[in-house]
Structure 1
């Protein structure tokens, strides 16, 4: 068995670095509860954030994900955890050489005509080096940090601990399905062979689209922990933050399509939309579209779930309560009362809001990107505490995360578009009746299996 995969010593080291601090926070919280004191959630949240803040990597991804789900954590905790940064310190070149040799063999450097020693980007699970193949192709080599399997398992253990704390505070939702979904997707994200197939899936989906570019996968330079793809030149999204509105709208429309087209066409979403996963490419000196760079968090939905998303949208759009209830039932919500449906609709109307109005508008007037959805989540949190609990289906987790992430990215651009019209265009181009067949064909072509 691969010694690096989920080693006991790796997990033990990770546990030791987190558990001591977390146990201290928990003891304070439990002590206050036993003594009949009130909980200072703001202070507890800051202490948990401090306990986790020195750990980079997967736990930070989890923390930021949870900050977007209403009542997955108390609002005070969500606000604190959302501030955590997921950038890891880069590996030095001597270490990179050892890692590359482990993946491609001792003569790995001879397989490139150039390989930049300094990383071009560093993220939570790995770092990217720019290189060139002997045939002259510029490529991006994403190399995973060591012992990430152990880190994932240790961090998932701590995630369960945080969920247990929240459960004792009488949460409005049952987080068991959330926990299972996050665990499965994080483990999946460690497998760069899976990510390579996901990139191929998106390449098929956007093969004839001039506004969304997908990098090609270099299979003979890729492994489970090394993913090599064609280098796509582009500028940062934030470089266009003060560009003319027409330019910002053009970029925003491409971002919208990159999110919604795969969902409408084959029931797939990019579950981690954030600024670092996109760049803007130009043609003739003008922004023409976006490069979609990362495919580690791709969620493949059952077509029935995707149908429920559309049913909920249509139900809200036309005031059809029966269709709304049907959508929640298709998603897997169980035992919903009228009151709980009304609470869920508060969140649904927020998520779908820009798509329900047939007019040119901004995404959310007066809202900062980092605050997108926070007020609505707090409102839903309070109502669920009174009317719940409710079990959230696992498919909801990354659908929700992706919608909030996309909204925050679009807010950075300050775009003004008719989102209703854009969405209707996607629905018209990809009829629901054939979605299951289209998905099956695309998955077969890319080598991916449906998500369980």
Structure 2
């Protein structure tokens, strides 16, 4: 049977994307290979700038992948991570004529009658879609997230080229086996295209955080949502970084809300928001003062088996009490292979860095006197050098977004210069922890959200 017009169009779009990504990234790869062939040294920074420029010009999913890689510790050499972190998350928005046609395709030709108002200019434009402010018929303020066209074809094409990025990493040194990182990023990125699933994630978070007044989760408007259009309450708020100079009391309040929003769902339900990006939350005010955070985006949500959460608690308790057997059990639970004493000691360098504030029963900043620009650099260098000598080590796929969330949250606490007893916050989150309780809570929450 010959392919339909829509199938041909999807194939054509994907083929064009393959060609574009392959040409841009492949050009940088050829440049690096040529330098290695002639023994040229010191070209990493220039190559990193070239790669960032190539990916930044593409926009779309491959740029989002690059941003993800830049925040996963040691997935890329530091010169590359630094350049990729500079990529803008803003993509050229769709024009109004295009938006009108897309909205008509999602909600029908009378779509504008379903709103009291719908702003022509997007409030935000990112790598996979853009957000428009609107007003419901009853006057409620809305946020309408509309996916760009051909994103499924673009994602599949870009994921097909993801190995090119990792092959670049492998050319420098093989200390980290990135194969599982690629699998995990691909799975999460495909999920982000499904706005029906994201709507269920919103319901999931409304359930998990319903008793915490410091974290606000919007409501889904299902009659105004489809697989490629997600309509939520508009939550008014200000950017986190505008509060860096607020009083210590305020900064501590916001940091505590961030801690709760990420670690309570994980420790009690085995679910984590995998993207603590500054654009994914804002600060709401009560009585004229900052009171808590609005969680805005639910595309990158990671649901873990309860055993993985048990590994996190085991590693924490093992480090806290010097229980080596419990530490080893945690790494085994997470899926680290070929464990030996040297590898465990190396992994513990990073673990003690990540867990450091949680192991220290006192009020402190996350950095605790270390300059923010140097925070984690010494530990990352020691880990990398050790793995370079003894590796490679395969990072289990479930570890990827867990580590990313921890590092991302740490960056928020650094920005706020919050002074908290992180030990007590964490121990309150894991109080009365058991795998059975996590499994039961998770099953109830997923059923309630329809997942």
Unaligned runs of 5+ in 2: none
- What CA RMSD, in Å, does the superposition of the two structures yield over aligned residues? 2.0
| CA distance in 2 between partners of 1:74 and 1:6 (Å) | 38
TM-score by length of 1: 0.94
* Match for residue 214 of structure 1 among 210, 217, 231: 217
Question: Which residue does 2:314 correspond to in 1?
Answer: 311
* Match for residue 121 of structure 1 among 99, 120, 124: 124
Structure 1 residues 396 and 20: alpha-carbon distance in aligned structure 2, compared to 1, 3 A threshold? same
Is residue 339 of structure 2 the alignment partner of residue 347 of structure 1? no
Is residue 373 of structure 2 the alignment partner of residue 362 of structure 1? no
Q: What count of residue pairs does the alignment treat as equivalent?
A: 448
Question: Which residue does 2:290 correspond to in 1?
Answer: 287
| CA distance in 2 between partners of 1:120 and 1:286 (Å) | 24
TM-score by length of 2: 0.94
Question: Which residue does 2:422 correspond to in 1?
Answer: 419
- Alpha-carbon contact 1:5-1:147 (below 8 Å) kept: no
* Match for residue 91 of structure 2 among 68, 79, 88: 88
Q: Secondary structure at the match of 2:218?
A: coil
* Match for residue 334 of structure 2 among 331, 338, 349: 331
- Alpha-carbon contact 1:66-1:73 (below 8 Å) kept: yes
Q: Secondary structure at the match of 1:188?
A: helix
Is residue 300 of structure 2 the alignment partner of residue 301 of structure 1? no
Q: Secondary structure at the match of 2:226?
A: coil
Structure 1 residues 246 and 299: alpha-carbon distance in aligned structure 2, compared to 1, 3 A threshold? same
Structure 1 residues 142 and 341: alpha-carbon distance in aligned structure 2, compared to 1, 3 A threshold? same
1:20 to partner: Cα distance = 1.9
1:75 to partner: Cα distance = 2.2
CA deviations on 1:43-81 (whole Å, 9 max, x unpaired) are: 222222222121222222221222233332222222222
* Match for residue 195 of structure 2 among 192, 197, 201: 192
The 5 Å alignment of 1:138-217 reads 138-217=141-220
| CA distance in 2 between partners of 1:189 and 1:368 (Å) | 35
Question: Which residue does 2:386 correspond to in 1?
Answer: 383
| CA distance in 2 between partners of 1:329 and 1:399 (Å) | 16
- Alpha-carbon contact 2:307-2:435 (below 8 Å) kept: no
* Match for residue 103 of structure 1 among 101, 106, 115: 106
Unaligned runs of 5+ in 1: none
Q: Secondary structure at the match of 2:235?
A: coil
Question: Which residue does 1:23 correspond to in 2?
Answer: 26
1:429 to partner: Cα distance = 6.2
1:86 to partner: Cα distance = 1.9
1:14 to partner: Cα distance = 2.0
1:343 to partner: Cα distance = 1.1
| CA distance in 2 between partners of 1:367 and 1:124 (Å) | 34
Structure 1 residues 194 and 6: alpha-carbon distance in aligned structure 2, compared to 1, 3 A threshold? farther
Structure 1 residues 32 and 233: alpha-carbon distance in aligned structure 2, compared to 1, 3 A threshold? closer
1:36 to partner: Cα distance = 4.2
- Alpha-carbon contact 2:26-2:164 (below 8 Å) kept: no
